[in-house]
Structure 1
């Protein structure tokens, strides 16, 4: 059966697929690929949450990975159209996930089906991976990497407004839990104030953030470190015995998770010089590494040639928004670019900040309406992966679904980032020479040999104290 990218998109949008509920849309995607004669496998990431892997084997390389995510953010409020109606009006297709990123998946599937219909073959083996969980913790792509996904290059169909994105920032979040000793405020010397101790750590982190401001990246500017929240205490007349701060660290290409951990160690050790009793537990949160590939890479050249053949302006850019590319680049060693239809801002309308970046309302929209760009045209390097530039221009396979006008250029992207999966055991001991025995213990995984997952690990920072030290320090810091 002949299917256009638009008809595929309409079918996918009509299937609700919030993160955690991807089963039905995964089965629909698998059915589309199976009908086209592709070898299809469903790989469960969790119960009822399968990744879809569809392979077209032609027995030669290079091997191209086309990937995108099946899940969407929740519907939210304020819709003026059915979020699962896939209605078309004013040159736009409306529905939850139409932009981020069922539009990209539909274009890729449509291109594969179009090649099958024309009885043509790609230049090398092709794998389409439709994954779950990207909007929450990238569980699907993490699972792909953990299970040994292999390809020579990858195209991730994020809504880049048909711009070719060759780099994006990364993100690490941490929660620092400071523990003290409770006492009545009438006798504060009997306690250890966790709030003031956490405040000292926050001030040290602020100084580190100022130092980061002097390390500029040509595309992204300086990295950043932000203490976003602080929570502690129960009553004004009680010395608080617990305080938590949350730290957001935006990473530029070239920075590592280990560098960020050292920054935290340094801030805590410096605060401990004033408060030797200080005990802090660091819990890692979302973890995504930045990525960057050279503009003269073979994949970038091939994509540029295919874009020219399709009449798509050649715009190469960097992205501040979220993507799974860091997992593929650092975790699986697969060069990757981002390229797809849609403007990211259109996908975040009327939604709450998702923890990885903000939203920007696309002009011309009412709340609750979500745009598929006026022209859905995804250049898929099926015939061009690995060929020279002349061959690329002749052989680019293009999936098209036009609706009259070109899409808007993006103005900005949500400031987000991603990090590859952390695995292996981490047991590190860091000593502060000027402050005696200061150590960091991690119940988690090793970070030095290859990209690993950090999220959820607990790092207990403490300094052993001789008898009587706590009482003396408590009196000294009143």
Structure 2
């Protein structure tokens, strides 16, 4: 948001001081993935206090609050409650869980990704509760769990329960409007050799050497490109041998993980096919070469004890700029005093489910810079926070035709 630019909320301004204090409370409540219970309680209590008509927590621990207007569509605003861990605390200049404010910034783990966005949704949309008779539709806010490990898996449960017509993802966008994103797939490649004593390696077959040949071929594999979303990146992220550590043992297995950024229309089969061709080519040259390629399947235990499992394949999505959700959001934001750029997210979000799987029109709009997540001294500029609160209200009022 440009310096000095102030958004004008179409209904009523929120209590900005209370919102900032609420952000501090959220940041002070550590909520690593699977540990979101404390934030969930704060979020549910705030929604109830601010007049949301219905506030509930589902079996996975997602918090869902609704302001019910008249007949019309349901507009869901989503933000995740979990954060990545602080693994480098000694590098922070402030306590990552103190919620310190200085020089117009609120510091702490989750400030950017994405507790301040959640606070802006709750406080920015709360004034609509007093004017719901003028809303042609309903507003729903969800605080979802486990996004950092499973983009969209928990949101899927919210979508099934709420049945929204439109979704707004609150990930950081610097108050620009996002109409798409690349997806993400986590791909496991495993080579199978033969164990032997490392003093006599000729009687074995080293799975790591096999992986070196395969990985070299895989990284030369061409990936597709999209004019809007960019390149479908394929990047090696780790290699682990079995056994590990392997003192005096020729490893009989090796597993590598590749991060593949997905474009619209790509499927699990289309993504895996080129990698499987690499395996087939090496097997044709060496009859003893064996390897498998698959999308990783994993399980996540929620703070409630509920287990969620699924494949780490999160589709890409793009909403046309002419879509009524994009046009309506732009109209509301511009009427409120903001002229956002319309662009795309560079990372994966819960929109992979709402748009990529469920096919629900989805946009992104949130406070803070996209590169401000997961960093040392993570922070949120307070003017971005207040701008987002007014912006969320402006989007809701425009889409739900407030007092038209």
- Give the TM-score normalised by structure 2: 0.81
Cross-structure match for 1:309: 335
The separation in 1 between residues aligned to 2:108 and 2:202, in whole angstroms, is: 60
SS in 1 for 2:59: strand
Query: Is 1:196 the equivalent of 2:222?
Result: no
- 2:69 corresponds to: 58
Does residue 375 of structure 2 align to residue 349 of structure 1? yes
In structure 2, the partner of 1:284 is 295
* Aligned residue in 2 for 1:427: none
Does the aligned pair in 1 maintain the 2:69–2:133 contact within 8 Å? Answer: no
**1:73 alignment counterpart:** 84
- How far apart in 1 are the matches of 2:133 and 2:22? 21
Give the aligned partner of residue 34 of structure 2: 20
Distance apart, 1:189 and its partner CA: 5.3
Aligned 1:67-466 pairs, distance under 5 A: 67-75=78-86, 76-77=88-89, 78-117=91-130, 121-138=134-151, 139-145=153-159, 147=160, 149-183=162-196, 190-208=203-221, 211-212=222-223, 215-232=224-241, 239-285=250-296, 286-350=312-376, 368=377, 370-376=379-385, 377-378=387-388, 379-380=391-392, 381-385=395-399, 387=401
Three-state SS of the structure 1 residue aligned to 2:261 is: strand
Gap runs ≥5 in structure 2: 1-13, 297-311
Match for residue 6 of structure 1 among 20, 23, 28: 20
DSSP 3-state at the match of 1:32: helix
Which has the larger share of helix? 2
Q: How many pairs align?
A: 363
Alignment match of 2:57 (pick from 26, 31, 42): 42
Structure 1 gap ranges (5+): 351-367, 396-478
Q: Which protein has the larger Cα radius of gyration, Structure 1 or Structure 2? A: 1
Per the TM alignment, residue 255 of structure 1 is displaced from its structure 2 partner at its CA by 1.9
Aligned equivalents of 1:273 and 1:304: distance in 2? 55
CA distance in 2, matches of 1:266, 1:155: 39
Distance 1:244 1:236 in 2: 18
Task: Pick closer, same or farther for the CA change 1:17–1:120 going to 2, 3 Å.
Answer: farther
User: In structure 2, how many angstroms separate the alpha carbons of the residues matched to 1:86 and 1:182?
Assistant: 52
Q: In 2 relative to 1, CA 267–174 (structure 1 residues): closer, same or farther, beyond 3 Å?
A: same
Task: Indicate the SS of the match to 1:207.
Answer: coil
For 2:57 and 2:23, locate their aligned partners in 1 and report how far apart those are by CA, in whole Å. Answer: 20
Flag the 1:202–1:31 CA change in 2: closer, same or farther, 3 A. Answer: same
Does structure 2 conserve the Cα–Cα contact (< 8 Å) formed by 1:204 and 1:270?
Answer: no
Structure 1 residue matching 2:329: 3-state secondary structure: helix
The question of whether the paired residues in 2 share the 8 Å contact of 1:302 and 1:386 is answered with no
Please report the RMSD computed on the Cα atoms of aligned residues, expressed in angstroms.
2.6
Supply the distance in 2 between the matched residues of 1:271 and 1:188 (Cα, whole angstroms): 21
Deviations 1:347-395 (CA, angstroms, capped at 9, x unpaired) = 3322xxxxxxxxxxxxxxxxx35233434212122222165xxxx8x86
Q: Secondary structure at the match of 2:334?
A: helix
Offset at residue 187 of structure 1 (A) = 6.2
After the TM superposition, list the runs of 4 or more consecutive aligned residues in structure 1 that deviate by more than 4 angstroms.
Answer: 117-120, 184-189, 233-239
TM-score, normalised by the number of residues in structure 1 = 0.69
Secondary structure of 2:291's counterpart equals strand
C-alpha separation in 2, matches of 1:268 and 1:239: 21
- Match of 2:79, SS state, is strand
